[in-house]
Amino acid sequence: MRRHLPPLNALKSFETAARLGSFRAAGDEMCVSHSAISYHVKQLEQHLGLTLFHREPRALSLTPAGRTLYASVREAFNRIADTAERLVAPRGGDVLTLQLYSTLTIRWLIPRLPDFEAQHPELRLRLLTSQWDVDFGREDVDACVLIGHPHYADLDYTYLFSSDLFPVASPAFLARSPLQQPADLKGAPLLQVHPSRADWQYWLDRAGLSDLDPDAGLSFDSYDHALATARQGLGVALAMEVYVADELARGELVEPFAPLRVAHPGAWWLVCPRAQVASPKVRAFREWLLAAVAADPRLTRLGSEHSS
């Protein structure tokens, strides 16, 4: 049966604009004018009969339909790019393929990778970033790092650390809009991370603010984008210590309700198929990762009841 796919140029323009939050930035990345990006997005909206972006004078945000489409399109483009890279990648060496959340990769793992490479020059790392759980039965991934709970008997879960959830904002934002207590968040722009949209609601419920809608403002596909936007003074983002320790230490972000933190209902795990537990490359990365976590005093370690 013939597939009725939307125009691919329109999909690429949409994905780039959604990822960067700007038609102009998307045009710069794709080496076309921002009006060409706008035209392609409008073409896609007409093809689907849906509005994908809220267009405001100084802001561009996804509609609910846009968020749904973006999650699917970005995942598809990432998989295509990854497959192409694997096809043309030079052979040789033992490759360890890991899937992680983009924010953890950028803000915590990458600064520590030189140490891993120095200890294991025989291994080549291939990092995939995604907000969605890996399907080990269908995808070429050796292990992943995720936040949640052990679910599947055929997977091995190694406990890493736990996180607290707490709001953060820039000093400039707090100078304009003081936040003395959680109720002051009413009317404040909340920066949402739509793949982790339950996190804001979880914190708000426990702060007694169940009537606040965390989906009413700007929405992003990663914590990294939301936190960068908060750093620019455009709203209040939710944070975890592993993501924002450096910015808190530098004073670029402030925790207005300290010490009001809520324990995230999930924990962080290194996960791999049980058949891969004894693999030398997986074992090498597990041992290194556990040592790196133990060496970071900012990460909360829990007891043995969290081991799988």
d(CA 86, CA 75) in angstroms, rounded, equals 16
Question: Is residue 147 located within the same domain as residue 57?
Answer: no
240 occurs within a structural domain? yes
d(CA 59, CA 270) in angstroms, rounded, equals 37
- pLDDT of the residue at 149: 92
DSSP alpha helices (H): ranges in the chain?
8-20, 23-30, 34-48, 64-88, 102-104, 113-119, 171-176, 197-206, 223-231, 241-250, 280-294
User: Which residue, of 52, 77, 102, is where some domain finishes?
Assistant: 77
- Evaluated on CA atoms 219, 64, 189, 194, the torsion sign reads negative
d(CA 21, CA 69) in angstroms, rounded, equals 15
85 occurs within a structural domain? no
- pLDDT of the residue at 99: 94
CB atoms near residue 156 (< 10 Å): 21
145 occurs within a structural domain? yes
159 occurs within a structural domain? yes
Q: What is the pLDDT of residues 261-270, one digit of tens each?
A: 999 999 999 9
User: What's the number of domains the chain is made of?
Assistant: 2
- pLDDT of the residue at 75: 84
What are residue 96's phi and psi, to 5 degrees? -110, 115
d(CA 181, CA 196) in angstroms, rounded, equals 24
d(CA 102, CA 127) in angstroms, rounded, equals 10
Nearest to 105 by CA among 64, 75, 65, 144: 144
User: Which residue, of 44, 77, 110, is where some domain finishes?
Assistant: 77
d(CA 16, CA 61) in angstroms, rounded, equals 13
CA 81 vs CA 75, 86, 133: distances in Å: 10, 9, 18
84 occurs within a structural domain? no
User: Which residue, of 77, 109, 138, is where some domain finishes?
Assistant: 77
Q: Which regions in the chain score pLDDT beneath 70?
A: 1-3, 85-93, 300-308
- pLDDT of the residue at 254: 97
Question: Is residue 130 located within the same domain as residue 239?
Answer: yes
Looking at residue 245, which CATH number applies to its domain? 3.40.190.290
Amino acid identity at 277: V
Question: Is residue 155 located within the same domain as residue 246?
Answer: yes
- pLDDT of the residue at 4: 72
- pLDDT of the residue at 304: 37
Whether the ω angle into residue 265 lies within 30 degrees of 0, i.e. cis, is no
**How far from chain centre, in Å, is Cα 285?**
21
Question: Is residue 182 located within the same domain as residue 53?
Answer: no
d(CA 39, CA 289) in angstroms, rounded, equals 46
pTM (predicted TM-score): 0.69
124 occurs within a structural domain? yes
Length of the chain: 308
Sequence-distant (≥ 6) Cβ neighbours of residue 247 within 8 angstroms? 168, 227, 231, 253
Question: Is residue 106 located within the same domain as residue 177?
Answer: yes
What are residue 86's phi and psi, to 5 degrees? -65, -35
- pLDDT of the residue at 135: 84
308 occurs within a structural domain? no
- pLDDT of the residue at 137: 82
Range of the domain at 71: 8-77
Question: Is residue 130 located within the same domain as residue 275?
Answer: yes
d(CA 150, CA 153) in angstroms, rounded, equals 8
**How far from chain centre, in Å, is Cα 272?**
20
The 8-class DSSP code of residue 7 comes to: P
